[in-house]
Amino acid sequence: MKTRLLLVLVFMASFAINSSAQNNEKKFGFELSSGASFATRELAGADLKTGFGFEGIFHYQFMPHLGAYAGWGWNRNSAKESFAGSKTDFEETGYVFGLQFKQPIGNTPVSWYARVAGLYNHIEIENNAGDIIFDTKHGFGWQLAGGLDVNLGRNWSLTPGVKFNALNRDSEFEGVSREMNLNYLSVRVGILKKF
């Protein structure tokens, strides 16, 4: 018990020291990103076409190179033919929460970043009329991302990068059980405002 208390106190002290050393830097930020997504495998037998998505996330930089982030995202891929019929859309929506490591590149206004996150998302299937015909309900997945943070001045940054999402949901559609593994790579461009 004493060891745990000691570890908590050491962690809190290091957090306080790091926080006071960063007083002149902005700790919070909001980022909007968007771009194309490319499925890396079939989804329950459906060959997904190139899709599109966006994400909005809040950042909190709690150490010089390490921060946390959380937000919401949406991504859509279409299929000409699938188990749900022809011309269907598969939309993934939900929440992302993770950690980011960011490192400046020399004395330039550019930094590189790497992110690892958990997802709490679901997949909705829409028919060609735009009606939702199935929902997998929310479940956990994961995300890996990396890219650049290009400082534009006045606390604005451009954030081009790539990310990989993986979400596996078991579903029962019209009495048939299916494993729906949605895996895709996204090429994104974002804008970040620090405050």
- For residue 16, being part of any structural domain is answered with no
Considering only 2-6, 25-29, 78-82, 172-176, which range has the smallest mean pLDDT? 2-6
pTM value? Answer: 0.82
pLDDT exceeds cutoff 90 at 17: no
- For residue 1, being part of any structural domain is answered with no
Q: What's CA 170's distance to the chain center, in Å?
A: 21
Single-letter residue type at 173: F
- For residue 12, being part of any structural domain is answered with no
- For residue 37, being part of any structural domain is answered with yes
- For residue 7, being part of any structural domain is answered with no
- For residue 114, being part of any structural domain is answered with yes
Query: In this predicted model, what pLDDT tens digit does every residue of 124-145 receive, in sequence order?
Result: 999 888 889 889 999 999 999 9
Q: What CATH number did the domain enclosing 140 receive? A: 2.40.160.20
Question: What range defines the domain where residue 79 resides?
Answer: 27-194
Supply 163's token pair: 């990310």
User: How many angstroms separate the CA atoms of 176 and 183, rounded?
Assistant: 22
pLDDT for 16 equals 46
CB atoms < 10 A from the CB of 65, how many? 12
Contact 35, 184 (CB under 8 A): no
- For residue 154, being part of any structural domain is answered with yes
- For residue 8, being part of any structural domain is answered with no
User: How many angstroms separate the CA atoms of 154 and 169, rounded?
Assistant: 42
Name the pairing type of β-strands 132-135 and 139-153: unpaired
Q: Which residues lie across from 61 on neighbouring strands?
A: 67
Query: In this predicted model, what pLDDT tens digit does every residue of 140-173 receive, in sequence order?
Result: 999 999 999 999 999 999 999 999 999 999 877 7
Single-letter residue type at 166: A
User: How many angstroms separate the CA atoms of 79 and 62, rounded?
Assistant: 42
32 CB-near residues (< 8 Å, 6+ apart): 54, 55, 56, 190, 191
Query: In this predicted model, what pLDDT tens digit does every residue of 33-92 receive, in sequence order?
Result: 999 999 999 988 899 999 999 999 999 999 999 999 999 999 999 999 888 878 899 999
Task: Reduce the DSSP state of residue 17 to 3 states and report it.
Answer: helix
Nearest Cα to 24, choosing from 75, 76, 61? 61
Phi and psi angles of residue 157, each rounded to the nearest 5 degrees, phi first: -140, 150
Q: How many domains does the chain have?
A: 1
What value does the mean pLDDT take over residues 105-128? 96
